[in-house]
Structure 1
C-alpha cells in the first residue's frame, strides 16, 4: 500500500480552520499556538484535538477560557496508532514500543543497548511502510507525536514502568554524568517508580536548570516530582531542596506569590529538620523578594540572618550568595560603598572556589555598581569577563544580564549600533527563558535608548509597557524608576498633563517604599513642571534639594546647569540663589512629605513660558 503524505497546515491556515470551528475564540493566539504545538498542522489531529477539548470543557466556546491540557489523545487518534501498529510485523513491535518510551526521535544507541542483533534497516523500512516513522532533517522519528502518544497509551500499565526503567538504565550507561539527559532520566525513573533515583535526578536537573536559565520547563518537571515524592517517607530533605529550587525559578519568572509560598514551605521543612543551610537558602530567597517589593528593612534582616548562618557553617558558596543578596539590597538603596564591600569579600572567596557561575555573577554585580559610579570602562571590562564565563557554561540568564550591562556601557560610550544590538539580544534571551524582571528592566532600558535617540514616541511606548508589567508584578522600585523617566519623556513630547500624573505617581510610589533618595532623578521632571507652571521659587527650592541629595549616579551636571539658569531667568540671581540655598538646607523627607501633601496647590494658569527644547533625559537606566 502506498501512503500519501498530506501537506501540513501553516499557522495562518490553522488559525482559519480554528476560527471556522470555534468562532472568534478560535483565532486567539493561545489557542492557535496550542494547536500548532499539539498537532503540527495535521488536519485530522486539529479536528480531533478540538473535539476532545470541547468534550473536556463542555462547550466549544469555553476552550479559550481554560488552561489547555497537554497530551490529549482521542479514541480516533488511538485507532490510527493501533491500525498502523497492527500492520507492523509482531517481532518489530517491542522495539517500537521501547522507542516510543524513549522519545520522538529514534535513538539507535539506546535501542542497540538491548538488542544489538536486530536488523535495524529492515525494522525502519517496516515502520516506514506502516506510516509510523519517517525521516526528518536526516533523522528518523515518529511520523507524529500523537502517533507516539497513541502507542504509549496502548502499552499495558504493568509493562510501562519496566520500559521506562530500561530507557533509564540505558541512558545512565551510555551518557554517564551528562547533564543534558538529567531531565529525561528524571521522567523515566519517576514513571518506573524509583523514588531514590527520582530524588537524585530532580536535584541534579533543578540545580543545573537554575544555572543555565531553564526556569519554565524545569519548574514544570519539578512540580509533579514534588507531588510524586509526597507519598514517600524519608524524603523531607529532598522536598526542602526541591521547594527552594522551584521558588527560585518562580522568583526568576516573576511569580512572586508562588515563589514566596514555596520558599516559606522550604523554610518550614528546614526548621523541622534542623537544617541551617536549608533555612539560610530559604531566607535569602525571601530577602530577595522583600527587596524587590520595596521592604528593604525586612530584606536586610533576612539576608543578615542567612549570611550569619552560612558563616557558622563555613559554607563558602552560601557566604557568597548571602553577600550578593546584601549587595543587591544596598545597590537598590544606592548605598554603593556598602555594596562594594560585600562584593569585595565575595570576590576574594570566589577566587578560591574556581566556579565559573559564581565568578561570573559577581562580575555582573561589580559591573552594575561601576555603572552607577559612572566608571564605564571598568564596568564594561567586568561585563565582558562575565560574558566569556557565562558562554562557556551556557548560563543563558547570566548571558542576558551581561549583554544588558554591555548595552548600557556601549550607550554611555557613544557606540549606538552596538548598544542597540546588545539590548535586543539580551531581551530575546530574557523573553525566551521567562525572566520577567529582566524583561521589564530591558524594556525600560530600550525606552531610555529611544529617548536618547530622540525617538520619543517609541520611548513612551516602551516605558508604558514596562510600567504596566511592574504594576502587575508589584515591583515598586522599578515602577518608581520608570515613572520618573516617563515623566521626562512626556515633557520632551510637550504633554505636561501626562508628565504631572507620572511625577506624582513616581513620588508617591518611592515614598511608600521609603526609597525616594535612590529614585531622586524624578526631581528633574518635577522642577521642569514647576517652571512650566510659572512656579520658579518652588523650582529653585526643589533644585536645591536635588543638588544637595542627588548621588553621583543621578547627577547630570548639564541638566543642573540648565535648570539653574531657568530659575535665575525667572527669579533673578539673588532670589534664585536664596531659594536654592533654602532647598539645600531643608530636611529631605519633610520636603517630600510636603510636596505630596500639598501637590500643586494654588496652581496658576498653564503657560508655555519656559519651553522644553533643551530638556534631556537624566540617567535612569536599570541594571
Structure 2
C-alpha cells in the first residue's frame, strides 16, 4: 500500500492484480490489472479480440461487440496475448506501476507473461512490482531473471525505529517504545503492526500509545495466536459467513456470498468485519486485510464444514455465473474439495481444454491429467476429446512419446464413437509429430489416412490442414511437385473456409517451393501475401518465419543488404517471443547474408551462435545446414581441407535434409575440383571421422581467426 500511495502521489497510474491459488482461471493475477489497462488505452478491434479470454467484459470497455481472435496454435496464441499486453503498455507516455501480489500462487503462464514484460520495461515508463512468500516458492526468482529480488527479512532495530515513528509520530521514536516493540516482535512486521493495532485499541487511539503504561508481554503464542485474536473480534453470528468468504478467496465477490447465504445482512457483516480489521476495502474491492487471516479460517474448518462450504460455493457460482469460462477452473476446484467427483470431472476437463487454448501448457497438463484420473465418470466422446487435448498438450511441451501414445488412444476412442472429425484431428497431430521426429513414411501414412476420413466426412477445414501437412512432408523429402500440389489444394480449401492462419501458412509454403524452383519474383509475391495474413491474425512466429524466408529470396535476387535487414528483423522477433529454433534459423540466414556481403566477423558470430542454439535444442537437421554454410566461410578463409571435411560429414549424416544435401553436394563438387586428389582424400577421411559433438570445438574455435578481416 505504501508503494501504491507513493506512486499515486507522484502521478503514476497504479494497476494491481493478485494470484488466488487453487481454482484460478489462466492468467488470474493479470485479469484485474489488464482490465484497467485496457480501459485506459486505445484498444484496436484486433487487440480486443486477443484480450477477450482474460478480459471477458472487453465488449463493454470498447463499446462494441468483440468476437474471438482467429484460431492459431496454442503457443502462438500465448505469444499473441503477450504481445497485445505489451502493446497496451507501450501506449503509455506517463508512468505506470503494476503491482502483482501473492505470486507464490501464480501459475507458470502468469509468470511467463511477467518475465516477458520484465524484458521490455527498461525501455518503457513502467515499474513492475511483485510480492511472494519465499518459504512457499523459494525458486520463484529463477523464473524471473530480469527482475531484482528485495528480501523483506525481519526488521533491524533502526528500521523498527523508523516504522514506529511513521505509525506513531515523533513520540514513536522514544527509546522505551522502540525497545518494547523490538523485544516483543523481534522485527516481525506482521507482529509489529498487529501489536501497534492492539495497543491502540487499549489506549483508545493511536497517539495515546506512547503515554500509556506498556504491558510486560503483549504477544504470546506466535502468529496463530495473534490471528485468532483478530478473528475473535468479529461477533459470533458473523463467523459462519466469514468462513464461507474464505472459501471463495482473499478478494470477496458479494454477489456470490449473497447467493450462497440469501438471508445474510451483508452490509452489517461487512461493517463488523471491517471494524475488527479482518476485512478492508482495497482499490474498490472488499478483501481479507491479510492472507494469514484467511489461512487461519481455512485451517480451522472441520472436514464436514470444508466439504459443505465448497459445495455451496460451487452451487453459487453456477447460479450467478452460468456457463462463464472465467469460472470453470474455480468450479473444478470447489467440486473437488466438496468430494463430488462427477462434477469435478466435468469441469476439470473443460478447464484443461480452456488452458490449452490459451497456450497455458503447464496448467493444461495438470488439469487434464486430473481429468484423466476421473475419466470413468466421463462419457465416451468427452473421454476421447480429453486424450486428444492431453496429447496436444504433450506435443506442445515436446513430450513426443507420450503425445503419440495418447493420440493413438484418442484415435481408437473416436473410432468407437464414430467421430470422424476427432479421428482426423488426432491423425493430423500424429503426422506432425512423426514429421518432427524425421519418420517421414509414418507421417505420410497418418496424414493420408486422416485426409481420407476428413474428405469422407466433408470436413473441409481439417482436410485443408491435412493437405498442408502432407505438403510439408513432401517438401522435406524433396518431392517438390507433390508438395506444390498439396499446398495449392490446401490454399484453395482454407481460403473457402476463411482460415486466415492456414492461408498464410499455405502461401508461405508455396513461396518456398517457388524459391526452390528459381521463381524468385513469384516467391517474393507469395511471401509478402503470407506476411500480411500473419500480421492480420497477430501470429508473431509466422511473421518472423516469413521475414527470414523473404530474406532468403532477396538474397537470391541479389538484394543482400535488404536480406540482411529482413533476417535481423526476424531475429529480433524470435528473441522477443523466446522462439529458440526460430532464432537459430534467423541467425543462420543472417550469417549467410553477411558472408555474401563479405562481413566476415558478423557472419562468424551469427553462425557460431546459431550452431550453439541448434545443438542445445537438439535440432540436428538445422545444425547440419548451419555447418554447410560455415564450410563456405572456412573455404573463404582458405581452409579448404577443413571445409571439405565438414561437407563430407554433413553429406553422410543420416539426418541431413534434402535441401541441405543438395547445397552441400554442389559446394563439395566445386571444392573437390579446386583441391588436389590427396588433399580431397584427406578431407574425406577427416569428415568421416567427425562427430556432431566435436565439430564445434574443432572448427568454430580453431578456425575463427582464419576468416578474412571484416
Bin for the TM-score computed over the shorter chain: 0.5 to 0.7
Find out whether 1:107 has 2:249 as its counterpart. Answer: no
Partner Cα separation in structure 2 for residue 128 and residue 442 of structure 1 = 57
Shift of 1:299: 0.7
**Can you list the C-alpha shifts for 1:98-142, whole angstroms capped at 9, x where unaligned?**
44433454434434544586445972883596466673x665555
Equivalent residue, structure 1, for 2:550: 409
1:254 partnered with 2:398? yes
1:382 pairs, out of 522, 530, 540, with 530
Output aligned runs, 1:159-238, within 5 Å: 159-194=305-340, 197-198=343-344, 200-202=346-348, 204-227=350-373, 229-230=374-375, 232-233=376-377, 235-238=379-382
1:301 aligned to which of 445, 451, 455 = 445
1:400 is the counterpart of 2:547: no
Cα deviation 1:389-413 (Å, max 9, x = unaligned)? 3x4xxxxxx4433343245436866
Query: TM-score normalized by structure 1?
Result: 0.62
1:351–1:381 distance in 2 versus 1, CA, 3 Å: closer
Contact 2:355 2:361 in 1 (8 A): yes
Q: 1:306 to 1:612 in 2, by over 3 A?
A: same
TM-score, L = length of structure 2:
0.55
1:444 aligns with 2:585: yes
Pick the aligned partner of 1:480 from 624, 632, 636: 624
CA distance in 2, matches of 1:378, 1:199: 47
Query: Partner of 1:456 in structure 2?
Result: 603
- For the Cα contact (< 8 Å) 2:423–2:450, is it kept in 1? yes
Are positions 1:516 and 2:653 aligned together?
no
Find the aligned partners of 1:364 and 1:525 in 2 and give their Cα distance: 31
Closer/same/farther in 2, CA of residues 297 and 140 from structure 1, 3 Å limit = same
Map of 1:283-294 to 2, 5 A cutoff? 283-294=427-438
| Equivalent residue, structure 1, for 2:301 | 155
1:295 CA drift (Å): 1.1
Aligned to 1:583: none
Cα 1:320–1:342 shift into 2, 3 Å:
same
Is 1:428 aligned to residue 570 of structure 2? Answer: no
Whole-Å separation in 2 of the counterparts to 1:284 and 1:9: 41
Q: Residue 29 and residue 192 in structure 1: after superposition, are their counterparts in 2 closer, same or farther (change >3 A)?
A: closer
Provide the C-alpha distance between the structure 1 equivalents of 2:289 and 2:152, rounded to a whole number of angstroms.
Answer: 11
Q: Distance in 2 between matches of 1:439 and 1:380?
A: 24
Q: Structure 1 CA distance, aligned partners of 2:102 and 2:413?
A: 50
Question: Which stretch shows the higher mean deviation, 517-526 or 254-263?
Answer: 517-526
Contact 1:371/1:409, CA 8 A, preserved across alignment: no
Give me the whole-angstrom Cα distance separating, in 2, the residues matched to 1:121 and 1:417. Answer: 66
Please give the alpha-carbon distance, in whole angstroms, between the structure 2 residues aligned to 1:181 and 1:331: 45
Q: Is the 8 A contact 1:81 1:151 kept in 2?
A: no
What is the rounded CA distance, in whole Å, between the counterparts of 2:660 and 2:146 in structure 1?
A: 46
**Structure 1 residue ranges without an equivalent (≥5):** 45-74, 392-397, 432-437, 543-591, 600-605, 616-623
> Equivalent residue of 1:294, what SS?
coil
Shift of 1:519: 4.4
Q: Which has the greater radius of gyration?
A: 2
Q: CA deviation at 1:168?
A: 3.9
Structure 2 CA distance for partners of 1:340 and 1:451, relative to 1, 3 Å: closer
Q: Within 2, Cα distance between the matches of 1:121 and 1:323?
A: 65
Alignment deviations for residues 337-358 of structure 1 (CA, whole Å, 9 cap, x no partner): 433433433344344545xxx4
Q: Is the CA contact 2:307–2:339 (under 8 Å) kept in the aligned structure 1?
A: yes
Kindly tell me: are residues 458 and 209 of structure 1, through their superposed partners in 2, closer, same or farther at Cα, counting changes over 3 Å? farther
- Which residue does 2:650 correspond to in 1? 506
Question: Is 1:123 matched up with 2:270?
Answer: yes
Q: 1:388 deviation in Å? A: 1.8
- Offset of 1:304 from its aligned partner? 0.7
Write the mapping of 1:15-54 to structure 2, written as runs, cut at 5 A: 33=143, 43=153
Structure 2 match to 1:370: 511
Q: Give the distance between the partners of 2:234 and 2:379, measured in 1 at CA.
A: 44
3-state DSSP of counterpart to 2:301:
coil
Cα deviation, 1:184-210, whole Å, max 9, x if unaligned, reads 344344444555554554554444444
1:170 is displaced (CA, Å) by 4.2
Rounded to whole Å, the distance in 1 between the matches of 2:536 and 2:152 is 43
**1:331 match:** 475
Question: What residue in structure 2 maps to residue 341 of structure 1?
Answer: 485
Aligned 8 A contact 1:446 1:459 in 2: yes
Q: 1: distance between equivalents of 2:290 and 2:648?
A: 57
Aligned counterparts of 1:529 and 1:203: Cα–Cα separation in 2: 59
TM alignment of 1:562-573, pairs within 5 A: none
